[in-house]
Chains A and B, each alone.
Chain A
Amino acid sequence: MATQHSRSAARLMMAPAVILLLGWMLVPLSMTLYFSFKKYLPMRGGDLGWVGFDNYTRFVTSSSFWPSISATLTILGGVLAITVVLGVLLAILLDQPMWGQGVVRILVIAPFFVMPTVSALVWKNMFMDPNYGLLAYLWRFFGAEPVQWMSQASLPSIIMIVSWQWLPFSTLILLTAIQSLDSEQLEASEMDGAPILKRFWYIILPHLSRAITVVILIQTIFLLSIFAEIFVTTGGAFGTKTLSYLIFQRVLESQNVGLGSAGGVYAIILANIVAIFLMRIVGKNLDN
Chain B
Amino acid sequence: MARAVSNRRRAINTALAWAVGLLIFFPILWTILTSFKTEGQAIADPPVFLFFDWTLENYAIVQERSNYMRFLMNSIIIAGGSTLLGIIVGVPAAWSMAFVPSRRTKDILMWMLSTKMLPAVGVLYPIYLLFIQLGLLDSRLGLVIVLMLINLPIIIWMLYTYFKEIPGEILEAARMDGASLGKEILYILTPMAIPGIASTILLNIILAWNEAFWTLNLTAAKAGPLTAFIASYSSPEGLFYAKLSAASTMAIAPILILGWFSQKQLVRGLTFGAVK
Q: B112 touching A27 by the CB < 8 A rule?
A: no
- Contact A176 to B24, CB < 8 A, known contacts A21-B112, A114-B252, A118-B230: no
Q: A110 touching B124 by the CB < 8 A rule?
A: no
CB contact list, B144-173 vs A, under 8 A: 149, 152-153, 156, 168, 172
Q: A21 touching B152 by the CB < 8 A rule?
A: yes
Closest 8 CB pairs of A and B: A113-B259, A10-B96, A13-B92, A28-B123, A31-B126, A228-B212, A107-B21, A17-B93
Known: A113-B210, A169-B270. 6 other contacts (CB 8 A): A29-B122, A115-B209, A117-B228, A118-B230, A126-B27, A252-B128
- Contact A110 to B25, CB < 8 A, known contacts A32-B125, A231-B216: yes
Q: Is B59 an interface residue (CB 8 A)?
A: no
Q: Mark B232-249, 1 if CB is under 8 A from A, else 0.
A: 011010000100110010
Q: A27 touching B152 by the CB < 8 A rule?
A: no
Q: Is B193 an interface residue (CB 8 A)?
A: no
Q: B256 touching A28 by the CB < 8 A rule?
A: no
Q: A6 touching B100 by the CB < 8 A rule?
A: yes
Q: How far is the CB of B103 from chain A (nearest CB, A)?
A: 12
Which single residue of chain B is at the shortest CB-CB distance from A13? B92
Q: A122 touching B31 by the CB < 8 A rule?
A: yes
Q: Which of A58-66, A73-81, A197-205, A256-264 contacts B (4 or more CB under 8 A)?
A: A256-264
Which single residue of chain B is at the shortest CB-CB distance from A264? B122
Give the interface SS of chain A, mostly helix, strand, loop or mixed: helix
Distance of A121 Cα from B2 Cα, bound (Å): 43
Q: Is A181 an interface residue (CB 8 A)?
A: no
Binding site for B on A (CB under 8 A): 1-2, 5-7, 9-11, 13-14, 16-18, 20-21, 24-25, 27-29, 31-32, 35, 90, 93-94, 96-101, 103-119, 121-123, 125-127, 132, 134, 137, 141, 164, 167-169, 172-173, 176-177, 180, 183-184, 187, 210-211, 214, 218, 221, 224-225, 227-228, 231-233, 244, 247-248, 251-252, 257, 260-261, 264-265, 267-268, 270-272, 274-275, 278-279, 281-283, 285-287
CB contact list, B44-101 vs A, under 8 A: 45-47, 89-90, 92-93, 95-97, 99-100
Which single residue of chain A is at the shortest CB-CB distance from B234? A232
Q: A93 touching B20 by the CB < 8 A rule?
A: yes
Q: B213 touching A227 by the CB < 8 A rule?
A: yes
Q: B256 touching A110 by the CB < 8 A rule?
A: yes
Distance of A231 Cα from B234 Cα, bound (Å): 9
Contacts of A5 in B (CB 8 A): 181
Contact of A121 among B121, B234, B256, B273 (CB under 8 A): B234
Binding site for A on B (CB under 8 A): 1-3, 5, 9-10, 13-14, 16-18, 20-22, 24-25, 27-28, 30-31, 34, 43, 45-47, 89-90, 92-93, 95-97, 99-100, 102, 106, 108-115, 117-130, 149, 152-153, 156, 168, 172, 175, 181, 206, 209-210, 212-213, 216-217, 226-228, 230-231, 233-234, 236, 241, 244-245, 248, 251-252, 255-256, 258-260, 263, 266-267, 270-276
